[in-house]
Amino acid sequence: MDVAVFEFGTIAQATDSFSFMNKLGHGGFGPVYKGTLANGQEIAVKRLSKSSGQGPNEFKNEAKLIAKLQHRNLVRLLGCCIHGDERMLVYEYMPNRSLDKFIFDETRCRVLTWSKHFRIICGVARGLLYLHQDSRLRIIHRDLKTSNVLLDSEMNPKISDFGMARTFGGDQIEANTNRVVGTYGYMAPEYAIDGLFSAKSDVFSFGILLLEIISGRKNRGFYHSNQSGNLIEHAWRLWKKGKLLDLADEFLVETGDLSKLLRCMHISLLCIQLYPEDRPSMASVVLMLGSDNELPLPKELGFLFHKKPFEANSSSGNDGSSSRNEISSSLLEAR
Ligand SMILES: Nc1ncnc2c1ncn2[C@@H]1O[C@H](COP(=O)(O)OP(=O)(O)OP(=O)(O)O)[C@@H](O)[C@H]1O
């Protein structure tokens, strides 16, 4: 199937000339708008703010490749739009927006019982497996996080922003400026420090996502009244004491299958192990989620989470800034 190339007029009309009312948010690649096509189909338009430096044909070819990635747990790219220097991507619209808006909101997270959480976890794992292994392109996401997991009308999870690092920035940013692209709090240590990415750095991000989904708390900015450290350290301490269940959100414990809940937390600790080779592949993660087989023990996590080996400049929110971090590796090397 060929990717649709939309006329600028069609997109402007669908979004009411990119009206403020239709703005869904603002991510690292630029603002996102909701739109409705003349046939009634709802769309989300990502207006890329940074020029990727690509000519129109190159951009179209990359969009074509991304559009070929089709899986029930990936957001579908419907097409693109080119207007002068501007580049836009047109996605299917996800009415329930992103996962972060549910799990970190005390009222809205009650909409999701444990079984729905588990369905979301398994869906994200399958979507990532498809990107790593089953798709022809073999994509490493590089920025998996709760705001990049969108939810359709039935709360099925769909990973978004896949292919973006490869296509619209990452490789170029790294090649040209020695910087890595990702989000602080989700980046695997080898990626954050040495700029080395692999499918196993995505597995690390998946582990963090899993911890966040189950605890309802963000790894970044995690606060606990009587101890220091982040969510990972807290999880590790509880694991050592055999009290991992204390990390889970109370509502999940009430509505959940406790052995499955514990199993998911155990899997998350396997995914965030220090050395990439110790982490399971996404194929193993999918198998572990779907079976009751005994799981290996995670290796000591300890070490680096006590220190901040680099300075990350980041911000987040809908104020036009991005939650994306660009960490200069020359800065890292200098320390
Ligand atoms: N297809 C979509 N359907 C519905 N809402 C969407 C869609 N794509 C993005 N959004 C919403 O638009 C906002 C911005 O998304 P975007 O993916 O650009 O940024 P982000 O994930 O918040 O940050 P980053 O760019 O750093 O990954 C998010 O709040 C998300 O909920």
Domain coordinates in residue numbering, the chain:
8-92, 100-330
In short, whether 147's Cβ falls inside 6 Å of ligand 1 is yes
Centre of ligand 1 from the C-alpha of residue 320, in Å: 12
For residue 315, the model assigns a pLDDT of 36
For residue 222, the model assigns a pLDDT of 59
Residue nearest to atom 20 of ligand 1 (CA): 27
Nearest atom of ligand 1 to the alpha carbon of 32? 12
With a CB cutoff of 8 Å and minimum separation 6, the contacts of 302 are 236
| 143 is a catalytic site residue | yes
Residue nearest to atom 16 of ligand 1 (CA): 27
Residue matched to tokens 């220090």:
274
Centre of ligand 1 from the C-alpha of residue 32, in Å: 7
In short, whether 195's Cβ falls inside 6 Å of ligand 1 is no
For residue 228, the model assigns a pLDDT of 56
Contacts made by residues 316-324, CB under 8 angstroms, sequence distance 24+ = 318/23, 318/25, 318/26, 319/26, 320/26, 321/26, 322/26, 322/27, 322/28, 323/27, 323/28, 323/145, 323/147, 323/183, 324/27, 324/28, 324/143, 324/181, 324/182, 324/183
| Record: fold of 8-92 | Phosphorylase Kinase; domain 1 (3.30.200)
Alpha-carbon span 278 to 154, nearest angstrom: 35
Active-site hit among 85, 143, 161, 319: 143
What's the rounded mean pLDDT across residues 179-208? 82
For residue 52, the model assigns a pLDDT of 58
pTM for the complete prediction? 0.84
Each residue's pLDDT tens digit, 21-72:
999 998 878 899 999 999 999 999 999 876 556 678 888 888 888 888 899 9
Report percent pLDDT > 90 for the chain: 51
Alpha-carbon span 93 to 54, nearest angstrom: 26
CATH H-level, domain 100-330: superfamily: Transferase(Phosphotransferase) domain 1 (1.10.510.10)
Nearest atom of ligand 1 to the alpha carbon of 75? 1
In short, whether 146's Cβ falls inside 6 Å of ligand 1 is no
